[in-house]
Amino acid sequence: MTRINILIDVHPPEDFELDIAVRQVDHSDDRHEKLRSIVSMPTEAYLWIPEDAITFTPPLSDLVYGDGRALLAITTTHDRPAFWLVRIDSRWDIGRPSMRVPADAPHMSEFIDFIVANLESEFGNGAPGHHDDQEEDERDPYPAIWDQDGVSWSWHDWPVEAGPVEPHPYWPYTTIAAQ
Protein backbone atom coordinates (compact mmCIF):
# COMPACT_ATOMS: atom_id res chain seq x y z
CA MET A 1 0.00 0.00 0.00
CA THR A 2 1.33 3.44 -0.87
CA ARG A 3 0.65 6.26 1.56
CA ILE A 4 1.92 9.46 0.11
CA ASN A 5 0.86 13.01 0.77
CA ILE A 6 1.87 14.96 -2.31
CA LEU A 7 0.95 18.20 -3.90
CA ILE A 8 2.42 17.33 -7.31
CA ASP A 9 2.83 14.31 -9.57
CA VAL A 10 5.89 12.44 -8.26
CA HIS A 11 6.94 8.87 -8.93
CA PRO A 12 7.46 6.63 -5.88
CA PRO A 13 9.04 3.19 -6.37
CA GLU A 14 6.70 0.20 -6.09
CA ASP A 15 5.75 -0.86 -2.54
CA PHE A 16 6.90 2.51 -1.27
CA GLU A 17 5.36 4.03 1.83
CA LEU A 18 5.92 7.68 2.52
CA ASP A 19 4.04 9.86 4.92
CA ILE A 20 5.47 13.31 4.29
CA ALA A 21 4.42 16.31 2.30
CA VAL A 22 6.23 16.93 -0.98
CA ARG A 23 5.67 20.23 -2.68
CA GLN A 24 6.96 21.86 -5.80
CA VAL A 25 8.11 25.45 -5.52
CA ASP A 26 8.03 27.87 -8.39
CA HIS A 27 10.16 30.86 -9.17
CA SER A 28 7.87 33.14 -7.16
CA ASP A 29 9.10 31.53 -3.90
CA ASP A 30 11.54 34.24 -2.77
CA ARG A 31 13.18 32.12 -0.08
CA HIS A 32 13.87 29.26 -2.49
CA GLU A 33 15.12 31.57 -5.24
CA LYS A 34 17.44 33.36 -2.81
CA LEU A 35 18.87 29.97 -1.82
CA ARG A 36 19.25 28.98 -5.48
CA SER A 37 21.10 32.22 -6.30
CA ILE A 38 23.65 31.42 -3.59
CA VAL A 39 24.16 27.65 -3.94
CA SER A 40 23.78 27.19 -7.70
CA MET A 41 27.10 28.82 -8.51
CA PRO A 42 30.15 27.35 -10.23
CA THR A 43 31.83 25.08 -7.70
CA GLU A 44 35.20 23.36 -7.89
CA ALA A 45 35.59 19.98 -6.20
CA TYR A 46 37.63 16.82 -6.49
CA LEU A 47 37.14 13.25 -5.40
CA TRP A 48 40.64 11.95 -4.71
CA ILE A 49 43.32 14.45 -5.71
CA PRO A 50 43.24 18.20 -6.41
CA GLU A 51 44.65 17.71 -9.91
CA ASP A 52 41.40 15.95 -10.84
CA ALA A 53 39.17 18.83 -9.74
CA ILE A 54 36.10 19.61 -11.81
CA THR A 55 33.97 22.72 -11.99
CA PHE A 56 30.20 22.25 -11.91
CA THR A 57 27.11 24.18 -10.86
CA PRO A 58 25.05 22.22 -8.32
CA PRO A 59 21.37 22.46 -9.18
CA LEU A 60 18.78 23.00 -6.47
CA SER A 61 15.73 20.78 -6.83
CA ASP A 62 12.35 22.50 -6.98
CA LEU A 63 10.84 19.70 -4.89
CA VAL A 64 10.74 20.30 -1.15
CA TYR A 65 10.33 17.33 1.20
CA GLY A 66 8.68 17.73 4.59
CA ASP A 67 9.45 21.06 6.26
CA GLY A 68 12.25 21.73 3.73
CA ARG A 69 14.41 23.45 6.36
CA ALA A 70 17.51 21.28 5.89
CA LEU A 71 19.74 21.15 2.83
CA LEU A 72 21.09 17.84 1.55
CA ALA A 73 23.76 17.19 -1.08
CA ILE A 74 23.22 14.01 -3.10
CA THR A 75 25.84 12.53 -5.41
CA THR A 76 26.08 9.38 -7.51
CA THR A 77 28.97 7.01 -8.07
CA HIS A 78 29.13 8.11 -11.71
CA ASP A 79 28.82 11.86 -11.14
CA ARG A 80 30.87 12.49 -8.01
CA PRO A 81 32.18 14.88 -6.90
CA ALA A 82 29.32 16.80 -8.58
CA PHE A 83 26.11 16.84 -6.56
CA TRP A 84 22.48 17.97 -6.47
CA LEU A 85 20.96 19.97 -3.62
CA VAL A 86 17.60 19.07 -2.12
CA ARG A 87 15.58 20.69 0.65
CA ILE A 88 14.52 17.97 3.08
CA ASP A 89 12.76 17.69 6.41
CA SER A 90 15.00 18.87 9.24
CA ARG A 91 13.82 16.00 11.46
CA TRP A 92 15.20 13.23 9.24
CA ASP A 93 18.14 11.10 10.35
CA ILE A 94 20.70 10.97 7.55
CA GLY A 95 22.66 8.09 9.03
CA ARG A 96 25.54 9.53 10.99
CA PRO A 97 25.75 8.49 14.63
CA SER A 98 24.32 11.12 16.92
CA MET A 99 22.99 10.72 20.41
CA ARG A 100 20.53 13.56 19.78
CA VAL A 101 18.53 11.85 17.03
CA PRO A 102 15.21 10.57 18.35
CA ALA A 103 14.79 6.81 17.95
CA ASP A 104 11.65 7.33 15.87
CA ALA A 105 13.19 9.90 13.48
CA PRO A 106 12.60 8.90 9.84
CA HIS A 107 15.84 7.70 8.23
CA MET A 108 17.07 9.16 4.94
CA SER A 109 17.46 5.66 3.48
CA GLU A 110 13.65 5.40 3.52
CA PHE A 111 13.40 8.30 1.07
CA ILE A 112 16.52 8.23 -1.11
CA ASP A 113 15.14 6.12 -3.99
CA PHE A 114 12.09 8.35 -4.15
CA ILE A 115 14.18 11.53 -4.12
CA VAL A 116 16.62 10.24 -6.77
CA ALA A 117 13.71 9.18 -9.03
CA ASN A 118 12.37 12.72 -8.73
CA LEU A 119 15.81 14.22 -9.47
CA GLU A 120 15.85 12.10 -12.63
CA SER A 121 12.41 13.43 -13.60
CA GLU A 122 13.58 16.97 -12.93
CA PHE A 123 17.08 16.91 -14.46
CA GLY A 124 17.02 13.95 -16.84
CA ASN A 125 18.33 10.40 -16.99
CA GLY A 126 22.09 10.44 -17.53
CA ALA A 127 22.52 6.70 -18.10
CA PRO A 128 24.52 5.84 -21.24
CA GLY A 129 22.41 4.97 -24.28
CA HIS A 130 19.23 6.19 -22.59
CA HIS A 131 17.98 7.91 -25.74
CA ASP A 132 17.39 6.12 -29.04
CA ASP A 133 19.83 8.45 -30.82
CA GLN A 134 22.68 7.80 -28.36
CA GLU A 135 25.52 5.35 -28.71
CA GLU A 136 25.67 2.63 -26.07
CA ASP A 137 28.38 4.45 -24.10
CA GLU A 138 27.12 8.02 -24.74
CA ARG A 139 25.30 9.80 -21.92
CA ASP A 140 23.59 13.09 -21.20
CA PRO A 141 25.86 15.46 -19.27
CA TYR A 142 25.39 16.49 -15.66
CA PRO A 143 23.00 17.59 -14.20
CA ALA A 144 21.25 14.59 -15.79
CA ILE A 145 21.55 11.91 -13.10
CA TRP A 146 23.04 8.43 -13.55
CA ASP A 147 22.35 6.50 -10.38
CA GLN A 148 22.90 2.91 -11.54
CA ASP A 149 25.74 2.06 -9.15
CA GLY A 150 24.64 3.93 -6.08
CA VAL A 151 24.21 7.28 -4.41
CA SER A 152 25.43 8.95 -1.26
CA TRP A 153 24.30 12.00 0.65
CA SER A 154 25.46 14.46 3.26
CA TRP A 155 24.21 17.56 5.03
CA HIS A 156 24.97 20.87 3.42
CA ASP A 157 24.94 23.99 5.58
CA TRP A 158 22.12 26.40 4.83
CA PRO A 159 23.93 29.59 3.79
CA VAL A 160 23.52 32.50 6.20
CA GLU A 161 23.00 34.80 3.20
CA ALA A 162 19.86 32.85 2.25
CA GLY A 163 17.95 33.95 5.31
CA PRO A 164 18.04 33.61 9.05
CA VAL A 165 19.53 30.27 10.12
CA GLU A 166 19.53 28.27 13.32
CA PRO A 167 21.42 25.20 14.49
CA HIS A 168 20.14 21.89 13.17
CA PRO A 169 18.30 20.00 15.94
CA TYR A 170 20.55 16.89 15.69
CA TRP A 171 23.62 17.70 13.63
CA PRO A 172 26.39 20.34 13.62
CA TYR A 173 24.90 22.16 10.62
CA THR A 174 22.55 25.06 10.06
CA THR A 175 18.97 25.05 8.84
CA ILE A 176 16.76 27.87 7.72
CA ALA A 177 14.90 29.37 10.66
CA ALA A 178 11.23 28.49 10.96
CA GLN A 179 8.86 31.11 9.58
Query: Is the alpha carbon torsion for 115, 121, 126, 127 positive or negative?
Result: positive
Distance CA 103, CA 87 (A): 22
Q: Mean of the pLDDT values across residues 71-77? A: 92
What's the pLDDT at 85? 97
pLDDT tens-digit map of 94-106: 876 666 777 788 8
Q: Mean of the pLDDT values across residues 83-109? A: 82
Side-chain half-sphere CA neighbours of 71 within 13 A: 28
The pLDDT confidence band at residue 88, using thresholds 50, 70 and 90, is: very high
Coil, strand, or helix at residue 114? Answer: helix
pLDDT tens-digit map of 127-160: 655 555 556 556 677 888 877 778 889 888 888 8
What's the pLDDT at 4? 35
Q: Where are the beta strands (DSSP E) in the chain?
A: 5-6, 21-24, 43-45, 54-56, 60-65, 70-76, 84-88, 151-156, 165-167, 174-176
| Residue 28: closest CA among 16, 36, 20 | 36
The pLDDT confidence band at residue 175, using thresholds 50, 70 and 90, is: confident
pLDDT tens-digit map of 19-66: 678 889 888 888 899 999 999 999 999 989 999 999 999 999 999 999
The better pLDDT of the pair 127, 173 is held by: 173
Those residues with Cβ within 8 angstroms of residue 91's Cβ, 6 or more apart along the chain or in another chain: 66, 67, 102, 105, 106, 169
| Residue 144: closest CA among 117, 125, 172, 167 | 125
